[in-house]
Amino acid sequence: MTPNTLFDLAGKVAAVVGGASGIGAAVAGGAVRAGARVIVLDIEAAAASRLASSIDAAASAGLDIRDPVAVHHALHSIVSEYGRLDIVVCTPSINVRKPILKYDESDFDRVVGLNLKGNFNVLQAAGRIMTAQRGGSIVMFSSIRAQVVEPGQSVYAMTKAGIVQLVRTAAAEFGPAGVRVNAVAPGVVETPLTAPITANAEWYNAYAARSALKRWASAEEMIGPTLFLASDAASYVTGTVLFADGGWTAIDGRFTPPM
C-alpha cells in the first residue's frame, strides 16, 4: 500500500445515506471522485436521483431510515446488484431548538426517531451485511454537541452523544469480523440544517468566532475526514470520533485574556 493508494476507493461499493444534500451530497461526490461505486440514498428520492446524475453515481433510491424494513431492503438490494457493500456513510439528522421545559412529546419523538432510531436502523442493517461478508467500514455522524452544548440543544445533543456510544459498541461487536465503525463530529457547517443560523448575521458571526479558525466549514470540508475513515488509510481505526470542528472543542470561549 502506497500513499497514493491509501485513500483510493476504486472497486469499493459505497452507500451514502442522506446523500441528496448538504454533507451527504458532498461526501457522495467525493467518494465518486475517489473511485467508489456510489449509491445515493435519501428520503427525497427525486433529489437523490438528480444528485446521482450530477456526480456520476452508480444509482440512487428513496429511503426513510426510520423504517427498518425499508433500510434492510435498500442495503440488501445493493448487495444483490453489486455483490457486496464496502462502505456505508449515514448523515441524516434534525434539530428542534427549544428549551427543555418547552419540549413536547412530538418534538422529542421527531428528533429521537430520526437521529437515534433511524441511524440505529442503518447501523444494524449495514452491520449484518458487513459482518457476514467479513469486512467493511461504517461512518456515522455525531456532532460537537455530543460534548458541548448550549440552551435549546438538549434532545439533539442527547442523540449525538448516543451516536457516539452506538459507534463504540458496534466497533466492539463488529470488530472481530473485520468491520470498522467510526463517527465524524462536525462543528458548524453551512448546510440546509443550519440555514436558520446562517440567515442570522449575529448568530452566524458568533459561531464563526467560537472556533479556532474563526469561520464556518463548508460541506466539502467534511469529505476528507469521512473518506479517511471509510478508506484503507484508516484500516486500524475503529470505535473513534473524529472531530472536524475547526478547533471548537479545543478552546474555551471567545475571550482572549491579557497575557
Point out the catalytic residue in the list 156, 204, 207, 236: 156
Q: Give residue-wise pLDDT tens across range 222-258.
A: 999 999 999 999 999 999 999 999 999 999 766 565 6
pLDDT number for residue 183: 98
Banded model confidence at residue 120, pLDDT cuts 50, 70, 90: very high
Q: Reduced to 3 states, what is the DSSP secondary structure of residue 157?
A: helix
Cell of 38: 456510489
Q: Residues of the chain with pLDDT > 70: what percent?
A: 96
Indicate the pTM of the whole model.
0.95
Average model confidence (pLDDT) for the chain? 95
The question of whether 236 is a catalytic residue gets the answer no
Q: What is the pLDDT of residue 5?
A: 78
Asked whether residue 259 carries a pLDDT value surpassing 90, the answer given is no
Query: Which band of pLDDT confidence, cut at 50, 70 and 90, is reported for residue 97?
Result: very high
pLDDT at residue 192, as a whole number? 84
pLDDT at 194: 86
Question: What confidence tier does 216 reach under pLDDT thresholds 50, 70, 90?
Answer: very high
Q: How far is CA 91 from the centre of its chain?
A: 3
The 10 Å Cβ neighbour count of residue 252 is 6
Residue 6: pLDDT band (50, 70, 90) is: confident
Per-residue pLDDT band at 1 (split at 50, 70, 90)? low
Cell of 202: 449575529
Q: Residue 62: is its pLDDT beyond 90?
A: yes
pLDDT for 2 beyond 70:
no
238/229 Cα distance (integer angstroms): 8
d(CA 140, CA 89): 6
Q: Going from the N-terminus, what domains does the chain have, and what CATH number goes with each?
A: 13-190+220-243 (3.40.50.720)
Torsion of CA 9, 72, 178, 24, to 10 degrees: 40
* Helix, strand, coil in percent for the chain, rounding step 5: 50, 15, 35
- Comparing CA positions, the residue from 114, 26, 15 lying closest to residue 60 is 15
Residue 208: its pLDDT value, please?
92
